[in-house]
Amino acid sequence: MVKQTIQIFARVKPTVRKQQQGIYSIDEDEKLTHSLEIVLPRDLADGFVNNKRESYKFKFQRIFDQEAKQEIIFEIIAKPVAESTLAGYNGTIFAYGQTGSGKTFTITGGAERYSDRGIIPRTLSYIFEQLQKDSSKIYTTHISYLEIYNECGYDLLDPRHEASKLEDLPKVTILEDPDQNIHLKNLSLHQATTEEEALNLLFLGDTNRMIAETPMNQASTRSHCIFTVHLSSKEPGSATVRHAKLHLVDLAGSERVSKTGVGGLLLTEAKYINLSLHYLEQVIIALSEKHRTHIPYRNSMMTSVLRDSLGGNCMTTMIATLSLEKRNIDESISTCRFAQRVALIKNEAILNEEIDPRLMIVRLQKEIEDLKAELAMATGEQRTDALTEAELLQLEKLIASYLEDQDPESRLEVGADMRKIHHCFHHFKKLLNDKKTLENTVSSESTRQACQEPLRDEEYTKLLGLLKQRDNEINILVNMLKKEKKKTQDALQNSSLEKSDTRPPQNSPFIAGSPAVPRTPFSSALSHAQDLSICRHRSSLLHKKTGMREEMSLGRQEAFEIFKRDHADSVTIEDNKQVLKQRHYSVVRDYRLCQAGSLEAHNQWNRYLPQMGIIRLANGVQSGESNGGICTPKRLRTQYSPSPTPSAWKSNRAIDIPHILLFIGASSKPGHLLEGGASLESESSLLT
Ligand SMILES: Nc1ncnc2c1ncn2[C@@H]1O[C@H](COP(=O)(O)OP(=O)(O)OP(=O)(O)O)[C@@H](O)[C@H]1O
pLDDT of residue 30: 44
pLDDT of residue 645: 44
Sign (positive or negative) of CA dihedral 663, 668, 670, 671: negative
Atom 2 of ligand 1: nearest residue by CA position: 13
pLDDT of residue 80: 94
Q: CA geometry: angle at 148 spanning 277 and 281, to 5°?
A: 15
Residue 85 marked in a binding site: no
**Contacts made by residues 13-21, CB under 8 angstroms, sequence distance 24+:** 13/66, 13/100, 13/101, 13/102, 13/105, 13/321, 13/322, 13/323, 13/324, 14/66, 14/67, 15/66, 15/323, 15/324, 15/325, 16/325, 17/66, 19/324, 19/325, 19/326, 20/324, 20/325
Among the listed residues 609, 454, 452, 440, the one whose alpha carbon sits nearest the alpha carbon of residue 522: 609
Nearest-atom number in ligand 1 for the CA of 218 is 26
What are phi and psi for residue 597, nearest 5 degrees? Answer: 100, 20
Note whether 472 and 527 are same-domain residues: yes
Tell me how far the alpha carbon of residue 123 lies from the centroid of ligand 1, in angstroms.
Answer: 19
pLDDT of residue 8: 93
CB 104 less than 6 A from any atom of ligand 1 = yes
- What whole-number distance in Å separates Cα of residue 594 and Cα of residue 597? 6
Q: Is 224 helix (H, G, I), strand (E, B) or coil?
A: strand
Q: For the chain, give the percent of residues with pLDDT over 70.
A: 67
Upper half-sphere CA count for residue 231 (Cβ side, 13 Å): 28
Tell me, yes or no, whether 460 lies in a domain: no
Note whether 175 and 301 are same-domain residues: yes
What are phi and psi for residue 338, nearest 5 degrees? Answer: -60, -45
Q: What is the H or E stretch that residue 140 is in? A: strand 138-149
ipTM of this complex prediction, to 2 decimal places = 0.96
CB 224 less than 6 A from any atom of ligand 1 = no
Residue 98 marked in a binding site: yes
Domain boundary among 333, 351, 369: 351
Q: CA geometry: angle at 18 spanning 15 and 22, to 5°?
A: 105
Residue 238 marked in a binding site: no
pLDDT in tens, 484-523: 888 888 888 887 776 655 444 444 333 333 343 444 444 4
pLDDT of residue 515: 40
Q: CA geometry: angle at 513 spanning 512 and 518, to 5°?
A: 50
> Lowest mean pLDDT: which of 200-204, 267-271, 419-423?
267-271
CB 118 less than 6 A from any atom of ligand 1 = no
Given a cut of 70, whether residue 155 has pLDDT beyond it is yes
Atom 1 of ligand 1: nearest residue by CA position: 13
Tell me how far the alpha carbon of residue 577 lies from the centroid of ligand 1, in angstroms.
Answer: 141
- What whole-number distance in Å separates Cα of residue 487 and Cα of residue 536? 10
pLDDT of residue 128: 95
DSSP assignment string, 656-673: -HHHHHHHHHH-SSTT--
Note whether 399 and 323 are same-domain residues: no
What is the domain extent for residue 427?
Answer: 384-441
The model's pTM is 0.55
Given a cut of 70, whether residue 242 has pLDDT beyond it is yes
Note whether 398 and 490 are same-domain residues: no
Q: Is 153 helix (H, G, I), strand (E, B) or coil?
A: strand
Are 179 and 236 in contact, with CB atoms under 8 Å apart? no
DSSP at 101:
S
In angstroms, what CA-CA distances link 226 with 94, 187, 198, 296, 525? 9, 11, 15, 20, 133
CB 110 less than 6 A from any atom of ligand 1 = yes
pLDDT of residue 176: 85
Note whether 561 and 654 are same-domain residues: yes
Higher pLDDT, residue 635 or 101: 101
Tell me, yes or no, whether 186 lies in a domain: yes
Note whether 20 and 163 are same-domain residues: yes
Higher pLDDT, residue 37 or 685: 37
pLDDT of residue 566: 78
> Lowest mean pLDDT: which of 248-252, 455-459, 624-628, 643-647?
624-628
Sign (positive or negative) of CA dihedral 676, 679, 684, 687: negative
pLDDT of residue 680: 33
**Amino acid code (one letter) for 602:** H
Tell me, yes or no, whether 280 lies in a domain: yes
Total domain count for the chain? 3
Buried b (16+ CB within 10 A) or exposed e, 449-463: eeeeeeeeeeeeeee
Residue 427: is it exposed, middle or buried by C-beta count within 10 angstroms (0-12/13-18/19+)? Answer: middle
pLDDT in tens, 389-442: 888 888 888 998 898 888 888 888 888 788 888 889 988 998 899 989 998 888
Tell me, yes or no, whether 447 lies in a domain: no
**Amino acid code (one letter) for 244:** A
Give Cβ neighbours of residue 14 (< 8 Å, ≥ 6 apart): 66, 67
Torsion on CA atoms 95, 101, 107, 113, rounded to nearest 10: -170
Tell me how far the alpha carbon of residue 625 lies from the centroid of ligand 1, in angstroms.
Answer: 143
Given a cut of 60, whether residue 643 has pLDDT beyond it is no
Other CB atoms closer than 10 Å to residue 75's CB: what's the count? 13
pLDDT of residue 38: 83
pLDDT of residue 109: 93
- What whole-number distance in Å separates Cα of residue 350 and Cα of residue 89? 6
CB 253 less than 6 A from any atom of ligand 1 = yes
Tell me how far the alpha carbon of residue 249 lies from the centroid of ligand 1, in angstroms.
Answer: 15
pLDDT of residue 218: 52
Given a cut of 70, whether residue 71 has pLDDT beyond it is yes
- What whole-number distance in Å separates Cα of residue 246 and Cα of residue 88? 10
Are 243 and 231 in contact, with CB atoms under 8 Å apart? yes
Q: What is the H or E stretch that residue 336 is in? A: helix 329-342
Note whether 524 and 394 are same-domain residues: no
CB 100 less than 6 A from any atom of ligand 1 = yes
CB 13 less than 6 A from any atom of ligand 1 = yes
> Lowest mean pLDDT: which of 41-45, 53-57, 331-335, 521-525?
521-525
| Helix ranges restricted to H, 28-78 | 42-46, 70-73
Note whether 391 and 494 are same-domain residues: no
Sign (positive or negative) of CA dihedral 335, 338, 342, 344: positive
Q: Out of 191-195, 205-209, 364-368, 500-504, give the one with best mean pLDDT.
A: 191-195
Nearest-atom number in ligand 1 for the CA of 101 is 21
Among the listed residues 290, 381, 421, the one whose alpha carbon sits nearest the alpha carbon of residue 344: 290
Work out the mean pLDDT of the chain and round it to a whole number: 74
Higher pLDDT, residue 176 or 544: 176
CB 677 less than 6 A from any atom of ligand 1 = no
Tell me how far the alpha carbon of residue 158 lies from the centroid of ligand 1, in angstroms.
Answer: 27
- What whole-number distance in Å separates Cα of residue 606 and Cα of residue 306? 135
pLDDT of residue 407: 87
CB 584 less than 6 A from any atom of ligand 1 = no
Domain boundary among 309, 328, 351: 351
Tell me how far the alpha carbon of residue 675 lies from the centroid of ligand 1, in angstroms.
Answer: 142
Q: For the chain, give the percent of residues with pLDDT over 90.
A: 20
Note whether 281 and 162 are same-domain residues: yes
Distance of CA 350 to the CA centre of its chain: 46
Crossing angle of the two packed helices 657-666 and 570-595, in degrees rounded to 10:
30
Note whether 396 and 502 are same-domain residues: no
Tell me, yes or no, whether 452 lies in a domain: no
pLDDT of residue 36: 85
Residue 100 marked in a binding site: yes
Tell me how far the alpha carbon of residue 278 lies from the centroid of ligand 1, in angstroms.
Answer: 23
Nearest-atom number in ligand 1 for the CA of 102 is 18
Tell me, yes or no, whether 343 lies in a domain: yes
Note whether 343 and 424 are same-domain residues: no
pLDDT band at residue 362 using 50, 70 and 90 as cut-offs: confident
Tell me how far the alpha carbon of residue 503 lies from the centroid of ligand 1, in angstroms.
Answer: 155
Residue 33 marked in a binding site: no
Nearest-atom number in ligand 1 for the CA of 106 is 18
Give Cβ neighbours of residue 194 (< 8 Å, ≥ 6 apart): 128
pLDDT in tens, 432-481: 999 899 988 888 887 777 666 665 788 888 888 989 998 888 888 888 88
Are 227 and 212 in contact, with CB atoms under 8 Å apart? no
Nearest-atom number in ligand 1 for the CA of 70 is 1
pLDDT in tens, 585-639: 887 777 676 666 555 655 655 555 554 433 333 333 333 333 333 333 333 333 3
Tell me, yes or no, whether 377 lies in a domain: no
Tell me how far the alpha carbon of residue 220 lies from the centroid of ligand 1, in angstroms.
Answer: 10
Given a cut of 50, whether residue 671 has pLDDT beyond it is no
Residue 5 marked in a binding site: no
Provide mean pLDDT across the span 353-379: 83
pLDDT band at residue 238 using 50, 70 and 90 as cut-offs: confident
In angstroms, what CA-CA distances link 204 with 122, 186, 251? 17, 17, 19
Are 310 and 316 in contact, with CB atoms under 8 Å apart? yes
Domain boundary among 304, 333, 351: 351
Provide mean pLDDT across the span 146-152: 89
Give Cβ neighbours of residue 119 (< 8 Å, ≥ 6 apart): 73, 74, 77, 78, 93, 106, 107, 108, 109, 248
**Amino acid code (one letter) for 56:** Y
Other CB atoms closer than 10 Å to residue 392's CB: what's the count? 14
pLDDT of residue 596: 61
Provide mean pLDDT across the span 531-544: 48
Note whether 290 and 338 are same-domain residues: yes
Are 124 and 177 in contact, with CB atoms under 8 Å apart? no
Residue 335 marked in a binding site: no
Other CB atoms closer than 10 Å to residue 523's CB: what's the count? 23
pLDDT of residue 60: 92
pLDDT of residue 636: 35
Among the listed residues 62, 65, 96, the one whose alpha carbon sits nearest the alpha carbon of residue 79: 62
Give Cβ neighbours of residue 205 (< 8 Å, ≥ 6 apart): 145, 156, 157, 225, 227
Tell me how far the alpha carbon of residue 83 lies from the centroid of ligand 1, in angstroms.
Answer: 26
pLDDT of residue 111: 83
pLDDT band at residue 167 using 50, 70 and 90 as cut-offs: confident
Pocket of ligand 1, candidates 13, 276, 335: which has the most ligand atoms within 8 Å of its Cβ, to mutate?
13
Tell me, yes or no, whether 500 lies in a domain: yes
Buried b (16+ CB within 10 A) or exposed e, 108-118: bbeeeeeeebb
CB 220 less than 6 A from any atom of ligand 1 = yes
Residue 613 marked in a binding site: no
Among the listed residues 316, 280, 355, 311, the one whose alpha carbon sits nearest the alpha carbon of residue 90: 316
What are phi and psi for residue 89, nearest 5 degrees? Answer: -100, 150
